[in-house]
Amino acid sequence: MSFSIKKQGEIVVVDVEGQLIVGNRQELKQKVLDELEKGEKRFLIDFSQTGYIDSSGLGVLVSLSKKIREQGGELRLANLNDDLKTLFELTKLDTLFQIADTRERALESF
Amino acid sequence: MSFSIKKQGEIVVVDVEGQLIVGNRQELKQKVLDELEKGEKRFLIDFSQTGYIDSSGLGVLVSLSKKIREQGGELRLANLNDDLKTLFELTKLDTLFQIADTRERALESF
Amino acid sequence: MTDGSDDGSLPLDSMRLALDLEIPSDVRYIEQVVELVTRQCAQLSFTARHCAFNVPVALSEALANAILRGNGEDREKHVRIHASLDYMRLVMEVADEGEGFDLDDCTIDPTTDENLERVDGRGLFLMRKLMDSVERFNDRGNVVRLTLRRA
Amino acid sequence: MTDGSDDGSLPLDSMRLALDLEIPSDVRYIEQVVELVTRQCAQLSFTARHCAFNVPVALSEALANAILRGNGEDREKHVRIHASLDYMRLVMEVADEGEGFDLDDCTIDPTTDENLERVDGRGLFLMRKLMDSVERFNDRGNVVRLTLRRA
Ligand SMILES: Nc1ncnc2c1ncn2[C@@H]1O[C@H](COP(=O)(O)OP(=O)(O)O)[C@@H](O)[C@H]1O
Ligand SMILES: Nc1ncnc2c1ncn2[C@@H]1O[C@H](COP(=O)(O)OP(=O)(O)O)[C@@H](O)[C@H]1O
């Protein structure tokens, strides 16, 4: 499991490869916060290569979303498979996040 | 698991794909006996694609070897991996069969 | 018992698998425990969704709670996992060395307006949504038992 | 118990797997039972040779004997398989519904000159060569127990 970060135009795109769980969520948090400190404002997390996410992974997404908003930025999510969609629906977090079906749509939506 | 038979020159070559065990040994036996009845005399069984062989599989080889010899023919074996070599050594069947390391050597040896 | 199918595929309804495991209190073990258990579920032809979603998420939550809450991440303390599964159901028991806790008292609803932006508190909620039952398995309350019926 | 390695790989020495299965008396099931059991062995990092050779051959022999000799290939009769394995060993018990038999009386040496060209009689011999022990598990003699120490 790992996170790869790259910049596409003005947007920081993070791919979550494997699980996003209690064992590695801090790594994701730190990577995104580092970019936020450098002044980045627009973030997209792409879950096309993600396995499962646990409650602490969801917690990190909520926390990042708040911190980014506080800096006047935006966090969007893309490419949730059916299982992950269900996870966001069960927790109603689908109402808190802007979720796009594809990476392209997410990038366009900023 | 399956057996593919083809003719190379004067030699009938049988590939054992998968296991040679109580559940399928009759199929091998019948295929070889059919060729023997057609008048074929030289047989090579190639084990390069074989998993494991059980005692009834060994029994079929012994039985075929006898029947082929009775018709004045010859049965040779090739491509035993380390596990299969051990199996033939444990049962001393390595002394009963002519076993070649490669298919080419086996074909040349007739 | 059915007679299995004609191609020699196993009669699943007579099959039973069990697994016991003990790990130190370190969250890095969670992923591999989950993989081990889901592989057993796949063996018994649990649905793809159960194998890729319900079981991994619920079990991760139970393990994380046992490691972090029950054992306070003290590596000297261990978490025991027992899983058994058959054609009817998967049962997982996760035991820690903690004081125990009250499942009902500790479960919140993270979907209310005031809770939606909370960072924590979704673990027990998710376990209950994804499993058919989540119970305290002993009086002390340090063993949680999760049951999932095979769909 | 060791603490596993730093990458989160499981502490195998605290792991235990068990498997129960019942099949009709039909040799077509053998291959899949063998695959199931060897997959569990691989899970516990048994050697490649144990997984690909010792276990498959010895278990096939025990199953074939139970199906053909013990149950006379009567599909109404069943063969039960119990396997349990941990860091130390694999134990497999194969039970049929037959009259039982005497292991020692029935084992021949198929490597002697007069036996070398026999078509049968290598099953018990191979089981004994490939396992650390082969025992009757009950008085009736219709349950064979195979044990293999993890190398
Ligand atoms: N194994 C456990 N041992 C002790 N307390 C636990 C255990 N599991 C859960 N709890 C308690 O239940 C609370 C809620 O758990 P949970 O819903 O998973 O959310 P979170 O762990 O994010 O707080 C925890 O904060 C903890 O107080
Ligand atoms: N499960 C069993 N039930 C009854 N008899 C058995 C059983 N397993 C083995 N035997 C007896 O032991 C003999 C030797 O078995 P084995 O060494 O496997 O050779 P084979 O099966 O080729 O004869 C069999 O012929 C049979 O008489």
**Residue of C48, C79, C46 lying closest to C62 (CA atoms):** C79
Residue B32 — φ and ψ, nearest 5°? -70, -40
- Asked if A29 contacts A63 with a C-beta cutoff of 8 angstroms, the reply is yes
Strand partners, D133: D147
Q: How far is the CA of B48 from the centre of ligand 2 (A)?
A: 30
Residue A107 — φ and ψ, nearest 5°? -65, -40
Give the one of A23, A51, A55 whose C-beta lies nearest to C126's C-beta.
A55
Q: Which residues of A70-95 are buried (b: 16+ CB within 10 A; e: fewer)?
A: eeebbbbbbbbeebbebbbebbebbe
- Rounded CA-CA distance B28/B61 in Å is 9
Cβ contact B52–D60 (<8 Å):
yes
Whole-number pLDDT of residue D8: 78
Per the structure block, which two tokens stand in for D146? Answer: 């195979």
Whole-number pLDDT of residue C9: 87
Is residue C114's pLDDT more than 90? yes
- Rounded CA-CA distance C90/A13 in Å is 38
Secondary structure of chain B as H, E, C letters:
CEEEEEEECCEEEEEEEEEECCCCHHHHHHHHHHHHHCCCCEEEEECCCEEEECHHHHHHHHHHHHHHHHCCCEEEEECCCHHHHHHHHHCCHHHCCEEECCHHHHHHHC
Q: Which helix (H) or strand (E) holds C113?
A: none
User: Which of B48-52, C4-8, C9-13, C91-95 comes out lowest in average pLDDT?
Assistant: C4-8
Strand ranges across the sheet with C133-136: C133-136, C143-149, C89-95, C78-86, C16-24, D16-24, D78-86, D89-95, D143-149, D133-136
Put simply, whether D110 touches B (Cβ < 8 Å) is yes
- pLDDT range class, residue A75, cuts 50, 70, 90: very high
**Residue of B22, B23, B36 lying closest to B5 (CA atoms):** B36
CA dihedral C40, C46, C52, C54 (to 10 degrees): -100
Whole-number pLDDT of residue A1: 58
Question: Which residues of chain D neighbour C15 with C-beta distances below 8 Å?
Answer: 19-21
Give the one of B51, B52, B66 whose C-beta lies nearest to D117's C-beta.
B66
- Asked if C81 contacts C92 with a C-beta cutoff of 8 angstroms, the reply is yes
- pLDDT range class, residue A2, cuts 50, 70, 90: confident
The mean pLDDT of A76-103, rounded to a whole number, is 98
The alpha-carbon gap from A101 to the nearest alpha carbon of chain C, in Å, equals 19
Question: Which residues of chain D neighbour B92 with C-beta distances below 8 Å?
Answer: 110-111, 116
pLDDT in tens, chain B (110 residues): 589 999 999 999 999 999 999 999 999 999 999 999 999 999 999 999 999 999 999 999 999 999 999 999 999 999 999 999 999 999 999 999 999 999 999 999 99
* Model confidence, pTM: 0.92
Summarised one tens digit per residue, pLDDT across range C82-97 is: 999 999 999 999 999 9
> Which residue ranges form the domains of chain B, and what is each CATH number?
2-109 (3.30.750.24)
- Rounded CA-CA distance A39/A71 in Å is 9
Q: Which helix (H) or strand (E) holds D128?
A: helix D123-130
Question: Which residues of chain B neighbour D51 with C-beta distances below 8 Å?
Answer: none
Q: How far is the CA of C130 from the centre of ligand 1 (A)?
A: 17
Give the one of C15, C21, C32 whose C-beta lies nearest to D9's C-beta.
C32
Residue of C nearest to D25 (CA): C3
- Residues lining ligand 1, Cβ inside 6 A: A 55; C 61, 65-66, 69-70, 96, 98, 101, 106, 120-121, 123-125
Cβ contact B91–D122 (<8 Å):
yes
Is residue D6's pLDDT more than 70? no
Q: Which residue's CA is the closest to the ligand 2 atom numbered 9?
A: D65
Per the structure block, which two tokens stand in for D43? Answer: 């899970």
Question: Which residues of chain D neighbour B93 with C-beta distances below 8 Å?
Answer: 116
- pLDDT range class, residue C8, cuts 50, 70, 90: confident
- Looking at chain D, how many residues does it have? 151
Q: Which residue's CA is the closest to the ligand 1 atom numbered 6?
A: C69
**Residue of B19, B17, B66 lying closest to B43 (CA atoms):** B66
Is residue C124's pLDDT more than 90? yes
- Rounded CA-CA distance B83/D52 in Å is 8
User: Which of C8-17, D52-61, D76-85 comes out lowest in average pLDDT?
Assistant: C8-17
Average pLDDT, chain C: 94
C78 vs C67, D1, D11, CA distance in Å? 8, 10, 12
* Radius of gyration, alpha carbons of chain B: 13
Amino acid at C83: A
- Asked if D94 contacts D131 with a C-beta cutoff of 8 angstroms, the reply is no
Summarised one tens digit per residue, pLDDT across range D55-80 is: 999 999 999 999 999 999 999 999 99
Is residue C4's pLDDT more than 60? no
Whole-number pLDDT of residue B1: 58
Average pLDDT, chain A: 97
Estimate the crossing angle of helix D30-43 against helix C30-43, to 10 degrees: 180
Is residue C151's pLDDT more than 90? no
Q: How far is the CA of D72 from the centre of ligand 2 (A)?
A: 11
